[in-house]
Amino acid sequence: MDLDTEELVRIDEHLAKCGECRKRLLSEDQLERAIDRLHRQISAALPTDCITYDLLADYIDGRLSGEEKAKVEEHLRVCVYCAEDFRSLAEFRSTMQEKPKELVQPATSQPSWWQRLKNALTSRWIIALEVGAIAFLVLLFAIHQGQQRFATQLQQLGLQIAHLHEHIKGLEGQVQKLQQEHLVDLRNQLTSVQQRLEAVVKGERQLAYRPTLPLMTLKDTAGTVVLTEDKRLEMPIPLASEWRKRVLELLLEGKVSQPENVKVAMAKVSEKVVMRGEIEGLRTIQPISPVKTSVLPDQIIFRWKGVAGANQYRVLVADENGSKILWESQPISKTHLLLPARTLEPGGVYTWQVEAVVGEEKAVSQPVRFWVLDKQSASLVRRMERQFSNSALTLATLYATYGLWDKAIAQVHRLQKQNPDHPAIKLLQEAVSKWSQK
């Protein structure tokens, strides 16, 4: 091809604009045939196992053995190119056989291998030149199309960049507006603060402040407790605000704030138990604890005042009404008894009394009630016992809140040793005694 670069570029530009010339130069059928020839040419240039021309001719003429014939047929089933050569050669042989004998050239010797190679190379070079020209034209057309697409993409990118610049300008404007508004707000706040300071300096506004003085101090087993004039309680332990409020109410007012379930249970245990018949000498045995109180499920200890001359005692535990005996002990000589664990259900109200044998006579105590804490209340009490074991004031408030009056009184005694004749402790003792005797 003798065209220089400028001529090729002009041809490419004309082909890109003129559809008629593109059709004349290269139709779709021509392009498919050229590409197919290119594939065959490339395949032929590579080392393959394809059938040679001589072997294919011998197969058509029937000069092959059975094994060679089977190999040729197997290859023709898998190789489309050799199959096409076979069809072309077979059609040619058929055409030559159908011509009149007078037109048939006299038989000559078969062409030599050099002549067949020369013919094949000549045909292949012609195909290669055709395919090369077609490929070059296709390449020029693709380059031109690519240039057009690239130009279009550049144009779209330019529009997007311009739109992005406009968006950035809008954002910058919004940022400036927000900054201005924020600065104005800060200026207003600074002006307000400055005015307040000036008012304080000039005496136009005085700060209503004076130091809070302690109203009362109390020695707890955990440290010093301070009650200020504004009724704020300062304790040496990290106590929750709810329990600080309960401690403050107990110290100032002698008030015990109990949960609703504790109130209901305490009301039941305070009721008098109806006796089943009066027996003379019935009150000779006096129950000590638990009497009109609550107990922890695993810490139920019965105590009573002994009777002179009594040989043995027996404890009986009944239901809330005292009508059904639920448990009774073996005869013992002591005046106290630990109830076996899990004998009574948590959350229940029960009645108990003591029987004594004096000589040949029997004496029975007045039946009294007690309440076994429910599981949730008992769990909270045990947790706070472990956490605040060093604070008698906190434990006294805890036990009073859940009706554990025996335990509450014991903690008040600890506080009394720390604060002899303290008015707050006296008020605390009176409050606990009053609630436990209801």
3-state DSSP of 206-269: CCCCCCCCEEEEEEECCEEEEEECCCCEECCCCCCHHHHHHHHHHHHHCCCCCCHHHHHHHHHH
Query: Hunting for tokens 């409020």 — which residue is that?
Result: 245
Co-location of 338 and 293 in the same domain: yes
Helices vs strands, H then E, count in the chain = 13, 12
Question: Does 400 fall in a domain?
Answer: yes
Instruction: Give the tens place of pLDDT for each residue, 11-37.
Output: 767 766 777 776 665 556 655 665 665
Co-location of 229 and 346 in the same domain: no
Question: Does 232 fall in a domain?
Answer: yes
Q: What CATH number corresponds to the domain at position 351?
A: 2.60.40.10
Is the pLDDT at 4 greater than 80, yes or no? no
Backbone angles phi, psi at 333, to 5 degrees: -100, -15
Is the pLDDT at 192 greater than 80, yes or no? no
As for how many domains the chain has, the answer is: 3
Is the pLDDT at 44 greater than 60, yes or no? no
Lowest mean pLDDT among 99-108, 162-171, 184-193, 238-247: 99-108
CA distance 320 to 348: 8
Instruction: Give the tens place of pLDDT for each residue, 349-379.
Output: 999 999 998 887 888 888 999 999 999 999 9
8 A C-beta contact, residue 355 and residue 344? no
Co-location of 239 and 380 in the same domain: yes
Co-location of 251 and 383 in the same domain: yes
Co-location of 365 and 380 in the same domain: no
Ramachandran region of residue 119, left (φ > 0), alpha (ψ -120 to 50) or beta?
Answer: alpha
| Structural domain range at position 426 | 215-262+376-436
Co-location of 342 and 383 in the same domain: no
Co-location of 428 and 298 in the same domain: no
Find the radius of gyration of the CA atoms of the chain.
58
Distance of CA 280 to the CA centre of its chain: 73
CB count in 10 Å sphere of residue 386 = 8
Co-location of 40 and 146 in the same domain: yes
Backbone angles phi, psi at 82, to 5 degrees: -65, -35
Question: Does 146 fall in a domain?
Answer: yes
8 A C-beta contact, residue 266 and residue 403? yes
Closest Cα to residue 345, out of 321, 364, 373? 373
